[in-house]
Amino acid sequence: MQLLNEWAFIGVFFAIAWVFPLLPIAGSWFLRPHKPNAIKQQTYECGVETVGDTWVQFKVQYYIYALVFLVFDVEMVFLFPWAVAYKQLDWFAFGAGFLFIFLLADALIYAWRKNALEWI
C-alpha cells in the first residue's frame, strides 16, 4: 500500500494538469460576450491574410539549416552542466567535454565543406 500512496501523487498531478488549462478557458467562455461577425471569423495568421496556397514546398535548405542549428542547440544543453560543475571535475570529465566539442566541430566542418551553410 505504501507503494500505492507514492504513486497517488502522480494521479493528483494528472488531475491538476487537466484542471489548470481548462479552468481559464472555461472562465473566459462564460465571461466573454459572444458576437461573431465576418471580419472576426477570418483566418488569422500572424496578423496578415495568407497569399496563395498554404501548402507550398519549403526550400530543402531550411531543413539543413535547422539540423545544423539543432546540433549546437543540443550541444549547449549538454555543455551547460559540464561548465557549471567545471571546478569539481577530474581530468577525465574535462577531456570528455572537449572530446564532445571536437566531434561536433568535425560535423560542422563537414557541413561547411559540403556547402550546407550556403544559401542557394
Partner 1 sequence: MNATEFNFLASLPSIAPEVGLTIMAMVVLFLDLYLPESQRRNIAYVAGAGLALLAITPLIPGWAPPADGNLLFWGGMVRHDVLSQIFKVMILLAGAITCFMSIDVKDIGRKGEFYLIIIISTLGACLLSAASDLIMVFLALETMTIPLYILATFKRDDSKSAESGMKYFLFGSFASAIMLFGLSLLYGFTGQTNLYLIAEYITSSQFIPNAIPVLGAMVLIVVGFGFKISAAPFHFWTPDVYEGAPTPVTAFVSVASKAASFALLVRFFIAVFPSALVIGDQHLQDFWVQLMAVLAVVSMVVGNVVALSQRNIKRLLAYSSIAQAGYTLIGVAAIQAQTLEGQTQAVASVGFYMFMYTFTNLLAFAVIILFTEATGSETIKDLAGLNRRSPWLALMLTIALLSLAGIPPAAGFFGKFFLFNAAVQANLTWLAIVGVLNSIVALYYYLVVIKVMYVDRSPDEDKPIPMSISYVWVLGVTALVVIVLGTVGAQPIFDWAMRSAGSLFS
Point out which residues bind partner 1 (CB under 8 A): 3, 92, 103, 106, 109-110, 113-114
Burial class (CB in 10 A: 0-12, 13-18, 19+), 16: exposed
Q: At its nearest, how many Å lie between partner 1 and the CB of residue 67?
A: 13
Handedness of CA 34, 36, 39, 40 (dihedral sign): positive
**CB closer to partner 1 out of 44 and 98:** 98
Residue 17 or 93 with smaller CB distance to partner 1: 93
The minimum distance between CB 3 and partner 1, in angstroms, equals 7
